[in-house]
Structure 1
Amino acid sequence: METDCLEIVNLWKTRHYGLSVVAPLLLEMRELASLFSYFDIQHVNRSSNVPAHLCAKFACTLTVTESWTGTRPSFLLTSLLVDDARSSFVE
């Protein structure tokens, strides 16, 4: 998994997140990660993770849970298209 949040990466790798506000999330991730033969979290620059950054930014503005099934939200569409085009060149 890739994230632009270096704090999450460091907490994951050190397992010292007992007092962190994200501890419940990291504990759930550990449980789900145990279902895989290998799982790791890596830090990437925010510029390399634009769609995820836009989703997180948008989520901070919501007062209710929102989900998109079968559609792409308009605020994210351009970023997804650029990200998809960029990944087409990765071998």
Structure 2
Amino acid sequence: MVVYMWNNRGQHRSVIASIRAKIQERAASVSSFNLVYVKRDANWPAHLCAQYASRYRVDCTWGPRPPLF
């Protein structure tokens, strides 16, 4: 639902409009931003990557393989 609302943001008014606006503002400051649907069981690696980035607060780009946690 969130991906659909993002892709069709001109057509929807919702309670998350302010959050969506903040995401859009921050996304404008990076060279590439994509929002895609991922099945729940595939979200665990993304969760680990986000925890790592949050904990160590480092800017980095990972190649074809993410680091082992």
So what's the TM-score if we normalise by structure 1?
Answer: 0.45
* Partners of 1:9 and 1:43 within 8 A in 2: yes
* Partners of 1:17 and 1:23 within 8 A in 2: no
* Pick aligned residue for 1:8 from 2, 18, 25: 2
Give the superposition deviation at 1:18: 4.7
Aligned pair count reads: 51
Which residue number in structure 2 is paired with residue 36 of structure 1? 30
Give 1 or 2 for the bigger CA radius of gyration: 1
- Unmatched 5+ stretches in structure 1: 1-6, 53-68, 71-86
Distance 1:50 1:14, change over 3 A: same
User: Which structure shows the bigger proportion of residues in strand conformation?
Assistant: 1
Give the structure, 1 or 2, with the largest relative contact order (CA under 8 Å, sep 6 or more).
1
Q: Using the aligned pairs only, state the percent identity.
A: 27
Distance across 1 between alignment mates of 2:25 and 2:7: 15
So what's the TM-score if we normalise by structure 2?
Answer: 0.57
- Unmatched 5+ stretches in structure 2: 48-53, 56-65
